[in-house]
Every structure is written in structure tokens, then in C-alpha cells.
Structure 1
Amino acid sequence: MSLGFVETKSDTSLFIYRRGTNTACLLLYVDDIVLTASSAGFLQHIIAALQREFAMTDTGQLHHFLGISVTRYANGLFLSQRQYTQDILECAGMSACKPCSTPVDLHSKLSADGPPVADSTQYRSLAGALQYLTFTRPDIAFAVQQICLYMHDPREPHLAALKRILRYLRGTASLGLTVRRSSPTELVVYTDADWAGWLDTRRSTSGYAVFLRDNLVSWSSKRQHTVSRSSAEAEYRAVANGIAEATWLRQLLHELHHPPRRATLVYCDNTSAVYLSSNPVQHQRTKHVEIDLHFVRERVALIHVWVLHVPTTSQHADVFTKGLPTSLFQEFRSSLNVRCAPDQTAGEC
């Protein structure tokens, strides 16, 4: 038997316990523990062993954890923060506001200009609350990332953008993240970048979405640390970020004794970035991104990943880098498995 520790990316800690062919995972957060195992018998064995060492209570199947409601269905789980969303709206005094169809304006770009907000403390409080909501609502990740970049000195345009997110949530509070049963452990990554999209610094925004079979398991919307001198460079940095996340997840799957059966597919809608992932020349044009180049090419050479081109119309990661038209946004939102609960109709949601 063995016990391993996997460093997670939040305040939680993940432990992996193995005995023979059985595997169990322990997710710890302060005084709460979420347990899962490869079999019901092994799960009970772990619970009994913990109870012998610690004073703890088995509360049964997971229903609520850290403000996230977990609903079980025949083919999977539905993760929702509906009550948390309503609490945010009530705190902002927007429980009865007029809904809108998308969380971010299609054309506007935020900058540091504009008169300061009257209550910067409330702005920061609401922005922080929205950050936690992205745990089950990846569809607002880009919009929330935009407003959080100005928490140090919020202006009226930033407050207007925040209120738009709240108006969007007012009409979509029932949406949540669907996780379905699946057996193959194949990872697929979509990466995208919005070149020089930030008006103040001309930095680009990177975004990626990582799927385990059909389930969204990791996503990101983040401003790049440096200014990219071309769209290919910005896209390539986004590819490198997506591959780094996929590499971590592949290692985690190995720890769980379910290693990926094939190379991870990484989809990018920039042909130059796809070409650079396997072409060992053109050093004069790419010296300034050489670290990312070598990292990606090493993963490709090891056949851990394949970088492929995908049409922009099928680029799910677009939702993490820019505002989109309503129809395209809703299509990508559904592709990310952000939907109504399985037992709800479209009219009820």
C-alpha cells in the first residue's frame, strides 16, 4: 500500500491512497474531507481506518461542499452555486435587475480611464465573490478576470462591467456544471489568445479549456505576463499554458492508475502556432519565445501531445479570451457543459 500527495491549486490538499489495484482520493479543506474510491468496499475501508485514528463523522453521499451543491443523477453529477449566486445579487441590490444574454460587451475594452467608483470596498467584495463563482461557471471566467484586474483602483466603466456580469447571472442563476460518467481517460485541450487586447498595456489574454473525454475539468482566462510581438507568439504562449496544464493532469491520472491511452490533442486556431510546435527552425523569428518553444516541442517529441489546427467556429476556448455574439457564446457555453440541471426544462432553467 502507498500514500501519495498531489499539490493542488487552491487551499485544498489532495491525497491519493493505493492498496493493490484499489485507489482512493481524499480531498481536504480545513475540517471537511471528500472521499472517493475505485470501489464501495474500499471506500468503507478507508472511512473505517480514518475513524480509528480521528474523531470524524460519516455524513453519507456528497451533497454540499464549500458552497457548491452536488446533485446526483443516473449518468453523473450536476454542480451548482445557485444559492451563492442569489446571495451575490442580493448583496449588490440587483435581485430584480433586468437580465442580459452575455456577461461581457462584444465591443468594449476596459482600460484604467474613467471616474473612480463611489464605494471601492463593495466593488472588491463583489469581484472576489464572482471569482469563487467561476468554480462552476466557466462561462463568466473572462468577464470576471477583466474586472479583477482593476480591483486596486476601480473606475465607473469597471463597475458597469461588473453589473453586466450580475445582470447575466440574474437570468442564468440555475445553470451549473455537468459531469458525466466516462471511462476512457483521454485529454483534449482547446487554447486561444486575444492578441494585444488590453488597451493599457497591449498584453494579450490566454485561455484554455481541458476536457477529460466530454467533461470540462480545467479552464483558465489570464492576461499574459509580457507583450507579444505577433498574434502567432500570443497564440503560442496560450498553447504552452494549455500543454502545461495537460501535463499536470496526465501526471495526476498516472497517480490514479488511469494513465491516458493516447497523446493529448491540443487544438489551436492559429496555423503559425501549430507550425511552430513541430518545426525546429526559424530561430531568428522566435528567440524571444524560445522557452515556450522548447517546452512544447519536447512534449510533442515525446508524443505526449499533438498540436492541431481547429477552425475558429469550433474554438471553445474563445469564450475565455473575448466577448462573443449571443448565439456563438451560448453554443460554446453548452460545449463547456454549463447547462440546466438534467431534470429541468429550458423554460424552468
Structure 2
Amino acid sequence: MVDSHTPVPINNSSQTMPTHPIVTRAKAGIFKPLERMNCHVTTTSPLSRSYVHALRDPIGKESMLDEYNALITNGTWVLVPRPANVNVVRSMWLFKHKFSADGSLSRFKARLVANGCVQHQGIDCDETFSPVVKPATIRTVLSFTKVCLYMHDPRDPNFIALKRIFCYVRGTLDYGLQLHVSSTAQLSAYTDADWAGSHVTRRSTSGHCVFFGNNLLSWSAKRHVTLSRSSAEAEYRGVANVVAETVWIRNLLCELHTPLFTATLVYCDNFNAVYMSANPVQHQRTKHIETDIHFVRDFVVSGQIRVLHVLSRFQYADIFTKGLPTALFIEFRSSLNVRRSPAHTEGEY
């Protein structure tokens, strides 16, 4: 007689047992590299998580006092009664370590800022826009950016060139850009590029100048961000850059209620670049600059731009891309309306 509470043995002979051995990484000889770490003691205070934690740290408390005293000294706030039914934007503290160029700790910075999480869109804050002033909008002085390219590793020829620039600036302090009343409202531009002018990267530099009548409005001399495989390609990239600038000026004149009804004349001294602006057929050699080609050609077809050839003798943009003989440089400088100021206005501005 079998007791009902006695467990009945289970026959496991019918179950399938694994027949393959278990292979672990240790059996296969696979081991992770042992990471060794060095611990050191630092005296830098950790960043505070809150102002309560910062008040307990002498360095954090000192930085908060510096920020508070700066706000009191500069008078950046005015104490006013709290208005009724108005959302009050509270303040919060931000803490940050500022390091020197060598990686050492410079200071422990604390800033008191507004808590943006409690602001209401359209009431406490709104979308802002900070316009960027273009050089063509206000007249600026010419900058010598070509010399600045070599300031990270200057050589003797660079210092000699810098001294020549300083001598030129000292001797032309009374020279400036002059604007005169012009009888024509023609917008014209000159563009030029040197092919593989950089001896380090072999990138080209393009320069252009834009005239409204006889007055110089805009100029530029920039290194290309990509390499050009031919002089025609380098010149055409310069054409595309000056077309973009002239289109912007045309739109600016429309906003000033002075629209232009004639095409902008863009002068280039490269026949191939002029040909590509008017030729509707794509070639294998111009597929990689197809974007610039279509950009210029659309404005040519619409009648807003005309790309014409000009002799190198009258290519005023050469002054932005290469060194010129003294006589030709002085002539081109005068053509850009950079002349000596009249004696009766010198020193008044």
C-alpha cells in the first residue's frame, strides 16, 4: 500500500540531454585585457550640485560672493514691488570650472541666471534675432588676412612682408575709400582667382569687387574650401561667389526702393569661365561644379547677370589675389576709389 503523501519518482530517461560540451571563454583562452588605473588625490573642489552644497564649500561660497558683488557693483538690477498676477521668474546658480591653456584650474566660476524652466513663451521670453552686419552694408577698412595665415608658424619672409605692410599703412594713413555722386546706376563686378596659389594646401584664392556706378560697394578675398583641378574651375568658383554677392545687393536695392532694370555685368579674364556661364551643355570635366554652373546660369537666363570677358590689363580684382607691379598697383588702387583725402577734411572724422 502506497501512502498518498509519498512523492512518486519521475523517470527522466525520456528527456533529451545536451550532448555537446560547454565551451567557455576561459577554456578557449579568451581573456579581457586587465585595465590598470592610477588613482591620485586632487585638491580641486567638485562642481556643486546646488547653492546649498556650494555654501558648504569655502571655494564655492567665495565664487558666489564674487558674482553677487559684481552684480551689486555694476547695477544690473532694480528692486521693484512684486506685481500682482504676474509670473515671477526665479533665479538659479550655475557652477563651472574654468581651466587655463595648460589644463590647470584657473578659477571656480559661479553665475546667477534666470531659471528658464518657469518662463512662459510670449510673455516672459520671445524669439530674438541678432542681425549680422555685412561688410557691404557699412564700409570697413581693408584687412591683411593673407599675412594672418602664417602667424601660427612665422618665417623670416613673413616678418619681412609684415614690415612692408606696416610701412605701407604708415605711408597711406591719409588714404581712404571715397564715394562720389555717379551719373549711372549700373551694377558691375570684377572677379579673379589664382589657381593653386597656396604652397601648402594648393587651394585657390578668389577675389572680387562690386561697383555701383563708379563707387566701390563690396570687395572680398577668400581662400577656397575645396581644391580646383583647373584654372577655369577656380575662376568659375569666383564667378559664382561674386554673382551671389551681386544678387544680394540687387535685393538690397529693391528694399531701398531703387530696383535695377538692367543686368549686372560680371567681368572675368578667363575665356573658359565665361563660356561655361552661357553654354547649356554639361561636360564630364564640369560635372563636379554643376551646382555653381546652374546657379550662375539661372541668373544669366533670367537676364539679371551677364558674364563678360575683360583683358587682364583692366582686371581690377587682380589686386586681391596676387602681387602686382608698383605702377599697376597704384593704378588699380585709384580705380577702386582709394585715394588721398582732401586736405580740408583730413582729421575731421
- TM-score, with structure 2 as normaliser: 0.58
Question: Matches of 2:199 and 2:336 in 1, distance apart?
Answer: 28
1:7 and 1:298 map into 2 onto residues whose CA distance is: 29
Aligned-pair CA distance for 1:169:
1.4
Residue 211 of structure 1: how far off its partner (Å): 0.2
1:227 deviation in Å?
Answer: 1.0
Kindly state the Cα deviation for residue 297 of structure 1 after the two structures are TM-superposed.
Answer: 0.4
- Cα deviation for residue 183 of structure 1 reads 5.6
Q: What does 1:184-263 align with in structure 2 at a 5 Å threshold?
A: 184-263=184-263
Higher RCO (CA-CA < 8 Å; seq separation 6+): 1
Amino acid at match of 2:240: A
State how far apart, in whole Å, the 2-side matches of 1:152 and 1:180 are. Answer: 41
Shift in Å at residue 7 of structure 1? 4.8
What displacement does 1:172 show?
Answer: 1.6
- 1:157 maps to 157
- Using the alignment, how far apart are the partners of 1:208 and 1:309 within structure 2? 14
Worse-superposed segment, 220-229 or 278-287: 278-287
Structure 1 stretches of 4+ with a deviation exceeding 3 A read 5-12, 151-156
Task: Give CA deviations for 1:155-200 in whole Å, capped at 9, x if unaligned.
Answer: 3332222111111112222111100123643210000001111100
C-alpha separation in 2, matches of 1:342 and 1:207:
29
Matching residue's letter, 1:195: W
Residue type at the aligned position of 1:250:
R
What is residue 311 of structure 2 aligned with on the other side?
Answer: 311
Q: Which string of whole-angstrom CA distances, capped at 9 and with x for unpartnered residues, describes residues 207-230 of structure 1?
A: 000000000000001111111100
CA distance in 1, matches of 2:149, 2:306: 33
The letter of the residue matching 1:168 is: Y
1:215-262, Cα deviation, whole Å (9 max, x unpaired): 000000111111110000000001111111001100000000001130
Cα distance, 1:328–1:11 mapped onto 2, change above 3 Å: closer
Task: Name structure 1 gaps, 5 residues minimum.
Answer: 15-26, 28-78, 80-134, 345-349
Whole-angstrom distance in 1 between the partners of 2:270 and 2:223: 18
Query: 1:179 aligns to what SS in structure 2?
Result: coil
Contact kept in structure 2, 1:186 and 1:213, CA below 8 Å: yes
Q: Equivalent residue for 1:167?
A: 167
> Residues of 1 paired with 2:261 and 2:162: CA distance?
42
CA 1:6 to 1:338, structure 2 compared with 1: closer, same or farther past 3 Å? farther
> Structure 2 matches for 1:57-136, cutoff 5 A?
135-136=140-141
The structure richer in strand per residue is 1
Structure 2: how far apart are the matches of 1:248 and 1:324? 30
Provide the rounded CA distance (Å) in 2 between the counterparts of 1:147 and 1:243: 27
Distance (Å, rounded) in 2 between the aligned partners of 1:239 and 1:323: 21
Q: Give 1:40's aligned residue.
A: none
Rg larger for:
2
